[in-house]
Amino acid sequence: MLVGLEIHQRLEGKKLFNRCPTPAADQPLDANATKFMRRLNTSAGELGKQDEASEFESMRKRYFEYVAPQKFSCLVDMDEEPPGPINNVALIAALKFSKHINAQIIDEIHMMRKTVVDGSNTSGFQRTALISLGGVLNAGEMQIPISTVCLEEESCGIVSNNGDAARYRLDRLGIPLIEVSTEPVFTSVEQTLHGAQAIGMSLRMLGNVMRGLGTIRQDVNISTPQGSRVEIKGLQDLSLLKPLIENEEKRQEGLIQISAELQKRRKAVGISAPEKISYVDLSPMLANSQCQIIKKALSSGGAVLGAKLEMYAGLLGKELYANRRFGTELSDYAKVSGGVKGMLHSDEDLAKYGLTLEEIKIIRKTLGVHEPDAFILIADERQSASRAIEGALSRAYVLGVPLETRRADEKGGSSFMRPIAGAHRMYPETDVRPILANKELLAKVGKLESFDEKKKELCNLLGDDLGARMAKSYNLATFQKLVDAGADPKLAALTLEQTLVALRREGANVNSITDEFLLELFSLYSKEKITKAAFSQILSFACKNSDDSAQKICEEQNLYKISGKALLDLWKKEGTDTKSFMAKFRFIVDASELFGLLNIKK
C-alpha cells in the first residue's frame, strides 16, 4: 500500500480573485443574506472531449441555491463579474512555500479552470494554477518528496443537499487555498500522519493561514498492489486517518476477492460478463405491496425497477469493512446517479422492508433469478429510478477496484463521489492573464522559516514546554505581531495559550477577540494602565461585547490599575492585611507595587 497526501490550506485576508474579505471558519450565516438560484450545463473541455467526471455529474438534473452574505461575497463570487487581478499576498505565500521546499517554480503561471459541476462553484469550475513542481520538505528525520504546489480557489460551503437541489453558502467561495501534494511515498498510517502534520506545521509558518475547523483539509490517495488509485476527499480530522487508510485497504482487498469469485463462478458455468444493462419495470406486480418504499414511490406515480445480477448471490452482502458491503458500493452509485434514497438487494433481509415472501417470489420469477443469482430493486420517481439502476448496474459489472474519487465520512469510512477526474477537466482561465514569475516577483518572496528553526527559537525564548506549544499553535502569527509591537514574549504566549484557552473552556466566544484588541491590551499593559491579573477579566468581557475596545471595557468595568498615591489612599481606607486586600483588589492592584509602597512606608 502506498499513500499520498494533498493538503489544502486556506489563507486569510482577501479572496484570490476579488477584494472581499475571507470569512472566519465558523462565520455564522447572515440571516439577511441574498439568495439566488442557478443550474449548470456541461461543456466540452479545451481538447473537445468531455471529462468523465463532469459528464457523470451532469446526468443529474439538479439546481443550486446560493446564500450570499453581503460582507463576504460579491459579483465575482456570483459569477456575474469577471475575476480581478490575482491576490498577490496569496501568490507570494505559495511561492514562498515553493522556495522553502526548493521546488522548481514555473516560469510563467497559467490560471486554469477545473470543471466542477456539483454546484460548489457558481461558474462550474474552480480556478487553479500550478505554482511549482518537485521539491522536498525536511521534516525531522523524514524527507517528504512534494510533487506539486498549486494555488486555487476554495469552493462554496454546503448548507444542505437533497436529490434535486443543493444549497451552498457563497462566502467561502474564492478563499485562497495552497494545495501541497506529496508523492505516493507513505507506507504506513504513522508515516502518513507524521507527513500530514509536518506539512501543516510548515504551512503555518507562512503566518497568514486560517485557523479553525475545515481550514486545513487532507485528501488522501491510496493505491494497493492489486487494486487501484483511489482519491478520498474531505478528511478534516487527522485522527480519522488511521481507520480511513485501514478501511480502504480492506475495501480494495474485498473488491478484488469478490471479482475473483465472480470470475470463477462465471467460468464454471461458461458465461461471460453482460454486455449491456437491462432492467425490468416491476410496478404492475407490486401495485399492492405494503413495503413502505415501494408504496411511496408508486403512490406518487413512480416506478419499481429491478434487475438480475447473474451469479452474484451472496456477493452483495459481503462485508468490505464495518457497515460497508458490496451492496453499499452499488447503492452509492444508485444514489449519485439518480439522486435516489437507496437500493434494495437480495442479500438483505427484505422482510424488514415489508416485502412478503410471495412478493419476493414474484420478483425472482419475473427477473429470472435462480439460486446462484442476486437482484437489486430501486423504487422512486421513474426517471430517477432508471438513472439510479443504470448507475448501480454499471458499477456491478466493473471488476476489481474502479478509479474513484470518494468522500470521507465521520467514521473513517468513505463513499463514492464521482469517477476520478481526468486532464479533460482542465481548460485555461481566459479571464486572467498568465503571470510571469520573473526575478522582480521572486525578489519579493522572502524566506520561510522552517518549523524546526522556529521551534528552537521559541524554546530559547519561552522555555521548552511553552516554546514547543507556541510553535505548533495557530496563534503563532498573533504572537509574532504582539512581540513585534513590544509585548513581553512570555506574557504574550501565556495569554494566547493559557488565558484564552481557559476562557474558551469556560464557554466564552474567544474567536471574537481580534489581533487589534490584543495589541491594544498589551499596549495598555506596557503603559502600566492595567495589571497582568486583569487580562482574563478584560478578555472575558471582550468575548461578550466584541465591538468594545479594551479602553472602553476598563473604563466601564473599573479595571484600570490603581497605583502611587491612589493606591496608598485605597490601602489606608480598605487595607487591613495584604492578603485580604489583594484578594479584593487583585485585578487593579499590582502586588509588588503594593509591597514596595508598604515597605517604604515601614
Partner 1 sequence: MYDKATSSLLQTLGIKIGDYVRFEKKGAKPIEGMLLMRPESGDTNCLVLKLSTGYNIGINPHEGALEKTKSGKTQEKIGGQAVNMAGTLKKDSLHLISTGGTISSRIDYQTGAVHPQIDASGLVKLYPRLEKFEPIFVRSIFSVLSENMNPTHWTQMAQAVKESFDDGARGVVIAHGTDTMGYSAAALSYALDGLGAPVILTGAQRSPDRASSDAAQNMFCSMAAAGANFSGVYLCMHASTNDDINHLHFGTRVRKSHTSGRWAFKSVGAQPAAQVNRNAGEIKFFSELPGKNLQSKIILKNKFSQNVHLAWAYPGISPKTISSWSEYDGVVVAGTGLGHLPADSRAKTSEKTVLSEIKQLVDSGVVVAMAPQALEGRVMLETYSSGRLLEDAGIIGNGADWLAETAYVKLCWALGQSKDFKKACELMMTPMHNDISEFSAVNTGE
CB atoms within 10 A of CB 185: 17
Residue nearer to partner 1 on the CB measure, 82 or 372: 82
Question: By C-alpha distance, which of 308, 299, 305, 300 is closest to 282?
Answer: 305
Q: Rule CB under 8 A: choose which of 54, 120, 155, 384 binds partner 1.
A: 54
Residue nearer to partner 1 on the CB measure, 151 or 303: 151
Supply the DSSP symbol for 446.
-
- Can you tell me the distance from the alpha carbon of 317 to that of 224, in angstroms, rounded to the nearest whole number? 23
Residue 436: CB minimum distance to partner 1, A: 5
Grid coordinates 459481503 are at which residue? 318
Listed ranges 299-307, 432-440, 448-456, 514-522: which one lies at the site for partner 1 (CB under 8 A): 432-440
- Can you tell me the distance from the alpha carbon of 202 to that of 99, in angstroms, rounded to the nearest whole number? 12
Instruction: Find all residues with CB under 8 Å of 240, minimum gap 6, and list them.
Output: 408, 410, 411, 412
- Greatest CA separation for the chain: 108
| Binding to partner 1, residues 73-112 (CB under 8 A) | 75, 78-82, 104, 106-110, 112
Residue nearer to partner 1 on the CB measure, 126 or 563: 126
Residue 280 · residue 366 · CB < 8 Å: yes
Residue nearer to partner 1 on the CB measure, 185 or 398: 185
Listed ranges 113-121, 195-203, 336-344, 593-601: which one lies at the site for partner 1 (CB under 8 A): 113-121
Supply the DSSP symbol for 506.
T
Residue nearer to partner 1 on the CB measure, 345 or 425: 425
Residue 210: CB minimum distance to partner 1, A: 25
Partners of 82 in the beta sheet?
none
CB atoms within 10 A of CB 305: 24
C-alpha triplet 164, 68, 338: angle, nearest 5°:
10
- Can you tell me the distance from the alpha carbon of 26 to that of 569, in angstroms, rounded to the nearest whole number? 48
DSSP assignment of 298-343, as one string? HHTT-EEEEEEETT-TTTTT-EEETTEEHHHHHHHHHHHHH--S--
Report which residue type is found at 331. Answer: S
Residue 129: CB minimum distance to partner 1, A: 8
Question: By C-alpha distance, which of 416, 419, 420, 412 is closest to 334?
Answer: 416
Residue 110: CB minimum distance to partner 1, A: 4
Residue 78: CB minimum distance to partner 1, A: 6
Partners of 278 in the beta sheet?
none
Residue nearer to partner 1 on the CB measure, 145 or 402: 145
> Binding string, 368-407, against partner 1, x = CB under 8 A?
----------------------------------------
Residue 44: CB minimum distance to partner 1, A: 8
Residue nearer to partner 1 on the CB measure, 185 or 238: 185
Number of chain positions touching partner 1 (CB under 8 A): 56
Residue 101: CB minimum distance to partner 1, A: 13
Any contact of residue 63 with partner 1 (CB under 8 A)?
yes
- Can you tell me the distance from the alpha carbon of 593 to that of 597, in angstroms, rounded to the nearest whole number? 6
Listed ranges 2-10, 182-190, 353-361, 416-424: which one lies at the site for partner 1 (CB under 8 A): 416-424
Instruction: Find all residues with CB under 8 Å of 386, minimum gap 6, and list them.
Output: 279, 303, 305, 338
Residue nearer to partner 1 on the CB measure, 47 or 273: 47
Residue 26 · residue 247 · CB < 8 Å: no
CB atoms within 10 A of CB 296: 13
Any contact of residue 428 with partner 1 (CB under 8 A)?
yes
Residue 417: CB minimum distance to partner 1, A: 17
Listed ranges 124-132, 238-246, 516-524, 540-548: which one lies at the site for partner 1 (CB under 8 A): 124-132
Q: What are the start-end ranges of the H helices in 72-188? A: 88-100
Residue 37: CB minimum distance to partner 1, A: 5
Listed ranges 129-137, 262-270, 380-388, 547-555: which one lies at the site for partner 1 (CB under 8 A): 129-137
Any contact of residue 442 with partner 1 (CB under 8 A)?
no
Give the binding site for partner 1 (CB under 8 A).
Answer: 36-44, 46-48, 54, 58, 63, 75, 78-82, 104, 106-110, 112-115, 117, 122-125, 128-130, 133-134, 148, 150, 422-428, 430, 433-436, 438
